[in-house]
């Protein structure tokens, strides 16, 4: 699925702390739009952290409130997600730092002209742009404790954003509901009822929200994207 890494990350962040996302928006004069349902002009500014730096560098990007999001199915979807997408696109168009080892892109998943790659991107990078926090991507093979250790990780999803990315489309294990390959899902919460009866509520960026057996999610998982130490989002100026 195209660009699922972006909405999966924004859903995970908004789920944990919607007020955090609201604080990323400003009026065109840079006055805060926090606490207002809809900016009063046709344009606004979105503030995002630069993933190329770890010193808190942020940028303000001017965005249209009426441009269809590149990652939403619905033309009249939430304006804020469309605005974030425009901000992500402009982040990818910034000059590449001289010290960068790869000069072919600024943000993995975004071309230098601001368009998105056909089928690649890292939710953790989107998390970094949304939060300014250190991020981590863990492969399934790196989780030495198997499903039990992984379960302990995803239980943080109510307090800190967590996104699961899945194996390739040719390697998926059948599940009900279906878990799609080469896709990203925002983890919302977990539930454990009795010995070994574990389920995971996940949001598919393309519009569905379902409970899955944890064993099915584990079987189809490839990467786990999260903030280092599962940092909580608490806004501080």
Q: DSSP readout, 203-226?
A: EETTTEEEEEEHHHHHHHEEEEEE
Range of weakest confidence among 62-76, 122-136, 201-215: 62-76
Tokens encoding 120? 């690649």
Q: What is the mean pLDDT of residues 99-123?
A: 91
Indicate whether 196 belongs to any domain. Answer: yes
Q: What is the mean pLDDT of residues 8-18?
A: 95
- The bridge status of strand 221-227 relative to strand 208-213 is unpaired
Last residue of one domain, picked from the residues 116, 133, 150: 133
- Token pair 């990350």: residue: 9
Indicate whether 122 belongs to any domain. Answer: yes
Instruction: Write out pLDDT tens, residues 157-168.
Output: 999 999 999 999
- Asked if residues 126 and 10 have their Cβ atoms less than 8 Å apart, the reply is yes
Q: pLDDT band for position 67 (50/70/90)?
A: low
Domain harbouring 203, CATH code: 3.90.70.10
Indicate whether 236 belongs to any domain. Answer: no
Cα–Cα distance, 38 to 21 (Å, whole number)? 13
Last residue of one domain, picked from the residues 75, 100, 133: 133
- Token pair 């001017």: residue: 62
Q: Residue 73: its pLDDT value, please?
A: 47
| C-alpha radius of gyration, the chain, whole number | 18
Query: What's the mean per-residue pLDDT of the chain?
Result: 90
Q: What is the mean pLDDT of residues 63-70?
A: 68
Whether 117 and 160 map to the same domain: the answer is no
Q: What is the mean pLDDT of residues 92-112?
A: 92
- Token pair 């808190």: residue: 56
Task: Look at residue 137 and tell me whether its pLDDT is greater than 60.
Answer: yes
Q: State the total domains in the chain.
A: 2
Task: Look at residue 58 and tell me whether its pLDDT is greater than 70.
Answer: yes
Last residue of one domain, picked from the residues 133, 150, 176: 133
Q: pLDDT band for position 116 (50/70/90)?
A: very high
Q: Residue 1: its pLDDT value, please?
A: 38
Cα–Cα distance, 219 to 140 (Å, whole number)? 9
Which burial class, exposed, middle or buried, applies to 112 when counting CB atoms under 10 A from its CB (0-12, 13-18, 19+)? middle
Task: Look at residue 31 and tell me whether its pLDDT is greater than 80.
Answer: yes
Which DSSP helix (H) or strand (E) runs through 59? strand 58-64
- Beta strands (DSSP E) in 82-182 are 135-139, 162-166
Whether 10 and 88 map to the same domain: the answer is yes
Whether 112 and 128 map to the same domain: the answer is yes
Q: pLDDT band for position 123 (50/70/90)?
A: very high
Cβ neighbours for 54, distance < 8 A, ≥ 6 positions apart: 134
Q: What is the mean pLDDT of residues 47-69?
A: 87
The partner residues of 102 in beta bridges, in order of sequence, read: none
Where in the sequence is the domain holding 140, given as residue range(s)?
136-230
Q: Residue 236: its pLDDT value, please?
A: 78
Cα–Cα distance, 165 to 123 (Å, whole number)? 8
Indicate whether 41 belongs to any domain. Answer: yes
Q: What is the mean pLDDT of residues 57-76?
A: 71
């Amino acid at each position: 699925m195209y660009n699922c890494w972006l909405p999966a990350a924004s859903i995970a962040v908004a789920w944990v702390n919607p007020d955090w996302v609201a604080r990323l928006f400003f009026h065109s004069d840079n006055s805060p739009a926090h606490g207002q349902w809809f900016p009063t002009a046709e344009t606004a500014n979105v503030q995002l952290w630069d993933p190329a730096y770890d010193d808190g560098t942020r940028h303000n990007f001017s965005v249209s409130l009426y441009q269809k999001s590149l990652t939403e199915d619905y033309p009249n979807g939430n304006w804020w997600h469309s605005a974030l997408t425009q901000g992500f696109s402009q982040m990818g168009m910034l000059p590449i730092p001289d010290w960068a080892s790869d000069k072919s892109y600024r943000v993995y998943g975004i071309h230098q002209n601001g368009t998105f790659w056909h089928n690649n991107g890292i939710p953790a990078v989107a998390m970094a742009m949304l939060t300014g926090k250190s991020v981590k991507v863990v492969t399934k093979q790196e989780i030495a404790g198997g499903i039990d250790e992984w379960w302990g990780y995803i239980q943080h999803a109510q307090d800190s954003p967590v996104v699961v990315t899945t194996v390739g489309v040719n390697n998926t294990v059948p599940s009900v509901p279906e878990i799609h390959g080469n896709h990203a899902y925002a983890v919302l919460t977990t539930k454990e009822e009795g010995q070994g009866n574990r389920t995971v509520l996940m949001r598919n960026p393309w519009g569905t929200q379902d409970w899955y057996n944890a064993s099915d999610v584990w079987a189809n998982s490839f990467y786990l994207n999260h903030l280092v130490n599962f940092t909580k989002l608490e806004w501080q100026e």
